[in-house]
Every structure is written in structure tokens, then in C-alpha cells.
């Protein structure tokens, strides 16, 4: 995957600006479960996802997590360069959900190029607006949608991402994604199982009635 694949406005950059980006580019391989950025870390730079999958989440004072969005190949992680985004007022943690290969653009390099290039600055603002739209969608889900509907939608999304009706995960990980407690997830999954929608086993959940989950998640 080339650097230009991440920037649809690549041809609008000056040749010298494209060269600067290419010359500054670093590479990093991370393992599943690695924390690559947290609010307490230095401003490391922009991460570009070449392969794998990242999860962005926030952490409450009580230690409870909730996922705010995910990043896939060709996505750009702006929060790892939060020092160039002065409006960011909350701490985000970025974790690898799968083994990943990442490109890294140093924060200072990217900041200088944004000051020089209106197309790059506009595209960066579009990405940030998209991320905040995802955060607002999450807030709406948490505030107005019951937990059984959120859990059903999450299971369907996981199944789609994995391309399989069998999801290899734990109740604790699901709780972390949804900002809930493991016990709440376990009780609801057992209810789903009693209704014939899922089959539970150690470290895995099989979706046995996708249509029922879709009706619940979309209701």
C-alpha cells in the first residue's frame, strides 16, 4: 500500500510536499493487544493503518472502557497526533485489536504541511469531523438505546467483521467495547441464548438466529 492511498487529495499537494511526507514516513509493527497511544503518552505522530485493526476508546475514572470507533486499512489515526489538534480536550487510548502494520508521520512534519497546504488541512478537518460524528452517534446509542439492542447490534457487527457466525471473544471484552459491566453482558447473553439467538461456549459466541438479532438491533 502506497502513501497516496491514504490521501485522496494527494495530487493536489506540491511535489515537494509529497516528497516531504514520503521521506518522513516510518513503519511500525504492533501485536494484538498492544497500546500504541494513550492520553498520557507523548504526541507520537499520525498512524496510518496498512493492515490490521485498531480500537479507540476512552477510560472512566473508575477504569471502565467504552469504544468510540475502530480503524481499518487505509484509515488515518489523528488522535495519536493530538498535540496538533488543539481543540481535543479528552484522552483517547488506541489499542491494536489485531496484529497491525502502521505507517507513522511525525506530528511536526504533518503540522507544517497542514499550514502550507489547504487541501491537506481540509482533508484533516474532514477526518476529524467524521470521528466526532462517530462519537456523537455513540452518545446517542448509550443515552437512548437499551442495552439488549446495543448488544445485538454489536454481535452482528463483529460477525460481519470476522466473516463468520462464530465470534471469538470474551464477555469482558464485549463489556469494554460497550461501556458496561461483564456481569451485565453475561446476563444478557444468557437471555439471548434462552431465546435461541446465540449459542455460548468458552471464548466464543455463535450467532444462531441472525434475523432475530437484526430485528432486535434495528427496533
Number of domains in the chain: 2
Residue pLDDT, tens place only, 43-60: 778 899 999 999 989 887
- What is the rounded distance in angstroms from the CA atom of residue 39 to the CA atom of residue 178? 20
- Predicted local distance difference test score (pLDDT) of residue 40: 57
Task: Catalogue the long-range contacts made by 108-116 (C-beta closer than 8 Å, 24 or more residues apart).
Answer: 109/20, 109/21, 109/24, 109/45, 110/45, 110/46, 110/81, 110/84, 111/81, 111/84, 113/13, 113/17, 113/20, 113/21, 114/84, 116/14, 116/17
- Predicted local distance difference test score (pLDDT) of residue 42: 63
* pTM given for the model: 0.77
Domain that holds residue 158: 145-218
Residues 53 and 88 in one domain: yes
C-alpha cell at 87: 481543540
Of 142, 169, 184, the one marking the end of a domain is 142
Residues 137 and 158 in one domain: no
Residue pLDDT, tens place only, 160-211: 988 999 999 999 999 989 988 899 999 999 999 999 999 999 999 999 999 9
- What is the rounded distance in angstroms from the CA atom of residue 30 to the CA atom of residue 152? 30
Residues 36 and 135 in one domain: yes
Residues 7 and 106 in one domain: yes
Residues 159 and 212 in one domain: yes
Could you write out the DSSP letters of every residue in 5-38? Answer: GG-TTGGGS-HHHHHHHHHH-EEEEE-TT-EEE-
Half-sphere exposure of 108 (CA within 13 A, CB side): 1
Locate cell 467483521: which residue? 161
Residues 121 and 58 in one domain: yes
Amino acid at each position: 500500500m502506497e502513501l497516496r492511498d491514504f490521501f485522496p487529495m494527494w495530487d493536489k499537494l506540491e511535489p515537494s510536499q509529497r516528497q516531504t511526507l514520503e521521506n518522513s514516513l516510518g513503519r511500525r509493527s504492533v501485536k494484538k493487544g498492544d497500546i500504541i497511544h494513550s492520553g498520557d503518552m507523548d504526541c507520537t505522530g499520525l498512524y496510518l493503518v496498512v493492515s490490521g485493526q485498531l480500537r479507540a476508546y476512552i477510560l472512566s475514572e473508575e477504569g471502565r472502557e467504552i469504544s468510540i470507533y475502530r480503524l481499518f486499512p487505509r484509515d488515518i489515526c489523528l488522535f495519536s497526533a493530538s498535540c496538533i489538534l488543539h481543540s481535543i480536550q479528552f484522552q483517547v487510548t488506541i489499542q491494536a485489536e489485531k496484529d497491525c502494520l502502521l505507517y507513522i508521520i511525525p506530528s511536526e512534519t504533518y503540522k507544517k504541511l497542514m499550514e502550507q497546504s489547504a487541501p491537506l488541512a481540509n482533508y484533516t478537518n474532514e477526518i476529524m469531523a467524521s470521528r466526532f460524528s462517530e462519537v456523537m452517534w455513540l452518545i446517542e446509542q448509550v443515552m437512548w438505546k437499551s442495552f439488549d439492542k446495543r448488544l445485538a447490534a454489536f454481535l452482528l457487527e463483529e460477525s460481519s467483521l470476522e466473516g463468520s457466525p462464530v465470534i471469538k471473544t470474551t464477555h469482558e471484552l464485549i463489556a469494554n467495547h460497550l461501556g458496561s459491566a461483564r456481569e451485565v453482558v453475561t446476563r444478557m447473553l444468557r437471555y439471548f441464548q434462552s431465546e435461541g439467538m446465540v449459542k455460548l461456549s468458552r471464548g466464543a459466541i455463535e450467532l444462531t438466529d441472525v434475523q432475530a438479532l437484526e430485528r432486535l438491533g434495528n427496533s
